[in-house]
Amino acid sequence: MSSGVIHDIGYQRYSGPRLGRAYATRALYSHGLRTAFGLGRSAKAKIFPWLVVGIVALIAIIATAVRALGGGFLGYFGFVDVAAFLAVLFCAVVGPELVSRDLRSGVLPLYFSRPLTRSDYALAKWAALVSAVWLVFAGPQLIMFLGGAFSGGTFGDFMDELGQFGQGLAYAAIVALLFASIGVLVGSLSGRRAVAAAIIAAFFLLSQAVAGILLGLGYGVDEAALRRASLLFSPQTLVQGVQAWVFDRQLDQFGPEFTVGSFGPLYAATWLVFTAVSVLLLLLRYKKVAR
Partner 1 sequence: MTLIATEALTKRYPNGVNALSDFTVQVEPGIIGLVGANGAGKSTLIKILLGLVEPTAGKVRVLDLEPGRDAEQIRSRVGYMPEHDCLPPDVAAAEFVTHMGRISGLPRTTARERASEALRHVGLYEERYRQIGGYSTGMKQRVKLAQALVADPDLLLLDEPTNGLDPAGRDAMLDLIQRIGTEFGISLVVCSHLLGEVERICDSLVAIDSGRLLRADAVSSMTTARDVLAVEVSEGRDQLVDRLNGLGLSVRLEGELLLVPLESADTYDVILGAVADLDLPLHRLDQRRHRIAELFQSAPQEAAHV
Q: Which residues bind partner 1 (CB under 8 A)?
A: 1-7, 9-14, 16-21, 23-24, 27-28, 31, 40-42, 45, 101-102, 105-107, 109-116, 291
CB of 93 to partner 1, least distance (A): 15
Task: Name the residue nearer to partner 1 (CB basis): 18 or 256.
Answer: 18
Task: Name the residue nearer to partner 1 (CB basis): 81 or 97.
Answer: 97
Task: Name the residue nearer to partner 1 (CB basis): 17 or 256.
Answer: 17
CB of 184 to partner 1, least distance (A): 18
Distance CA 83, CA 80 (A): 5
DSSP letters for 186-255: HHHT-S-HHHHHHHHHHHHHHHHHHHHHHHHHHHHTT-HHHHHHHGGGSHHHHHHHHHHHHTT---GGG-
CB of 221 to partner 1, least distance (A): 52
Task: Name the residue nearer to partner 1 (CB basis): 76 or 286.
Answer: 286
Neighbouring residues of 124: CB distance < 8 A, sequence distance ≥ 6: 25, 26, 28, 29, 32, 116
* Nearest C-alpha neighbor of 68 from the set 140, 145, 139, 148: 148
Residue 277, amino acid: V
CB of 190 to partner 1, least distance (A): 16
* Nearest C-alpha neighbor of 261 from the set 226, 237, 220, 235: 226
CB of 13 to partner 1, least distance (A): 6
Task: Name the residue nearer to partner 1 (CB basis): 41 or 152.
Answer: 41
CB of 92 to partner 1, least distance (A): 19
Q: Is 106 helix (H, G, I), strand (E, B) or coil?
A: coil
Task: Name the residue nearer to partner 1 (CB basis): 4 or 153.
Answer: 4
Burial class (CB in 10 A: 0-12, 13-18, 19+), 52: buried
